[in-house]
Amino acid sequence: MAILSKTQTNIMSLLNQLFNRGVFGTRCKTCLNLAISRIKLLQNKRDVQLKQMCKEISQFLQAGQEAIARIRVEHIIREQNIWASYEILELFCEFILARVPIIENQRECPSELREAVASIIFAAPRCSDVPDLLHIKNLFTTKYGKEFVSAASELRPDSGVNRTIIEKLSVSAPSGEVKLKVLREIAEEYNLAWDSSKTEAEFRKNHEDLLGGAKQVSAGITISHTSSRNGSNDLSPCIMERSIKSVHDKQEYKHLEALSPSSINTNQIEQSHKNTEIPGDVKSETRFQSSDVLEKARAAIASADRASAAARAAAALVQSDFGSLK
């Protein structure tokens, strides 16, 4: 009885394996055929769209609207890349379809099919127009495991994904050289005498320099922006001028306080001159010079007093003006 039960178990396991193999092969062939048919339809549709977009760009170039043509050409390049990737994926699907029996009989992915299988797994989430590729990816996940699928999706080393598929399905913007090449091909196709020097200079321009802007701001503009932030947007230009003058007058007043009579004493000047030792043969000259220095110091003190008085008067005037506005 035990031998009979073991024999029945082995037979059931073999039948399950055969049944699963048949299910995998049938599903894989169905999805591959659907993907091939859908890719062909999408390629025909994109051919018509690309011709229409190229015609529109030729009209922009002929009308001198090169700025619009430079923007639209990126969409054409993207559509061309998708079309080229679909063409490669169609070949890979046909290649796998012819070798489904080999895939069924082997547990690991055959080396000659690794590039085709890995490329379909990588392209499946990036080609939303072909949902059949996602079904094929799920079948390969069941067949080879999640680790194999993750290696292809994440482009790990030795994943085997086709390099052209990676480049064509990249989301990075095309370079200026590629865009200029496509524009020239469109102009040549529609027999346009287009001068590409302006567009070529625009593509070679370093656009990062345009983000700089002015870094130095004058003191008057800084004061006006500060006053506007404090709520003085409604003041008249005359009052704003007075406020700026008052700031300068206060700064000048603080500077002149250092030269006020409280800080400068004529006695100290005289004492400093008395303490200096002067030779006997030049005493008359030094006395004359010291008297001139004293007269100049007194004149400077008098002018400082007048300037400080004027600064105080200006500050009082500005304060009265702001008080009346409040």
Residue 210 has pLDDT above 50, yes or no: no
Q: What is the arithmetic mean of pLDDT over 196-201?
A: 84
Query: Which pLDDT value is given to residue 135?
Result: 95
Residue 169 phi/psi, 5-degree rounding, is -95, 10
Q: How far apart are CA 39 and CA 93, in angstroms?
A: 10
CB 133, CB 124: distance < 8 Å: yes
Q: What is the arithmetic mean of pLDDT over 101-111?
A: 91
- Considering only the C-alpha atoms of the chain, give the largest distance between any 2 of them, rounded to a whole number of Å: 145
Q: What is the arithmetic mean of pLDDT over 63-77?
A: 91
Residue 308 has pLDDT above 70, yes or no: yes
Q: How far apart are CA 85 and CA 130, in angstroms?
A: 12
Model confidence over 112-163: pLDDT tens digits?
999 999 999 999 999 999 999 999 999 999 999 999 999 999 999 888 999 9
Q: Between these two residues, 224 and 11, which has the higher pLDDT value?
A: 11
Residue 240 has pLDDT above 80, yes or no: no
Query: Which pLDDT value is given to residue 195?
Result: 85
Residue 57 has pLDDT above 60, yes or no: yes
Query: Which pLDDT value is given to residue 238?
Result: 45
CB 183, CB 61: distance < 8 Å: yes
How much is the mean pLDDT over the chain? Answer: 76
CB 96, CB 116: distance < 8 Å: yes
pTM of the model: 0.57
SS3 content of the chain, % helix, strand, coil (to 5): 80, 0, 20
Q: What is the arithmetic mean of pLDDT over 298-318?
A: 81
Q: What is the arithmetic mean of pLDDT over 48-63?
A: 92
Q: How far apart are CA 173 and CA 13, in angstroms?
A: 53
**Among 65-69, 166-170, 185-189, 198-202, whose mean pLDDT is lowest?**
198-202
Confidence of residue 226 (pLDDT cuts 50, 70, 90): very low
Q: How far apart are CA 30 and CA 38, in angstroms?
A: 12
Give percent of the chain above pLDDT 70: 64
Give percent of the chain above pLDDT 90: 42
